[in-house]
Structures are given as C-alpha cells and as structure tokens.
Amino acid sequence: SLVIKKLVEGDSADKTKDFTFKLTFTKASTDDQGTFVGQVGSTSYTFENGKEKTITLHHDQSLVFDTIPAGTRYKLVETGSQGYTASAAYWENGVSKTQAGRISADLTQDSILVGEKRNENTITNSVQDVTPTGLLIDNLPFILMIGLGLAGFVVLSKKRRQA
C-alpha cells in the first residue's frame, strides 16, 4: 500500500487551503493492469500508467492506495504556493528519507519506489511565523498617556522656576 499525506504548519498558515499535486505512476514489470486506484476520504481517483493526474489535498488529508504492486515507481510534484515552504518525509520500501524544498517553489519527488515494506509520503507545507518588532499598536494609548504626563510635569516645573 501507499499513503500520501498532506500537513500544514505555522500559526498563520491556512489549514483549509487546497494544495495541488501532480502524480504519475510507472508500473512494475510484473504488473499487467497498469491502473492504480487511490482514495481521499470517500472519493476515488484512478491513475493510468505513465499519465500525469492532478489532485488537491488540504491539511490532514491523505491519498490512500490499498494495493500497488511492488516495483511500481511514482513521481510526485506539488505546485508551489505563495509564502509556503514544502518539504517531504517519506518511506521508500522501508527506508526513511527526507527532502527539503524552497519557499513558494515546486517540490518534485522523482522515481520513488513502492516496495514490499513501508511506503508513506508526508508532505508538509510550513509558513514562517512573523516575529513582531517595534511598538505594538495595542500599547499606543498607554504610551501617549505617559508622554502627556511627562510633558505636563516638565511644563509645571518650568512655571514654578519662573515664579
């Protein structure tokens, strides 16, 4: 079996956003059918050998293939999304691997082998959190009140010295 899972991380990330994937299978030499059926929830998708198919996944959604012949290879391309950095942590025939991406760029995984052991692929899109800098607008009234108080004290002190 093969599971392709989508995760989204970051405080300002949109967890309802759909991310676009292009998936292409190359059948194993022992496979005579050449079609692969995967499911996202209750929706089924049929993939044909060598033909690219586009699907969308959002946070915590998985494309699950219950039966794929060992020796099948697949290419997975996630279309880059503005502000998101894609990365992959996957199992290729029982071997754990990772692949880092670049911000707002496509993430391409080429010729991944589906074997008899564990086969999973988790693609994570993360948004870099923005650290607040400078003055917060929430504190502006308090800062102005302190400034007015100091200005009043200075004016009062000058008037007392003159008198």
Question: Tens-digit pLDDT profile for the chain (163 aa)?
Answer: 899 999 999 888 888 999 999 999 998 877 777 788 999 999 999 999 999 999 999 999 999 999 888 889 999 999 998 889 999 999 998 899 999 989 889 999 998 999 889 999 999 999 987 776 666 677 778 888 999 999 999 998 888 888 7
pTM: 0.74
Amino acid letter for position 66: D
pLDDT at 67: 86
Q: What are the helix (H) ranges across the chain?
A: 140-162
pLDDT at 162: 82
pLDDT at 8: 93
Q: How many CB atoms are closer than 10 A to CB 103?
A: 14
Q: Are 90 and 120 in contact (CB under 8 A)?
A: yes
pLDDT at 132: 66
pLDDT at 136: 65
Q: Is the dihedral of CA 157, 161, 162, 163 positive or negative?
A: positive
Give phi and psi for 137, each to the nearest 5. -65, -25
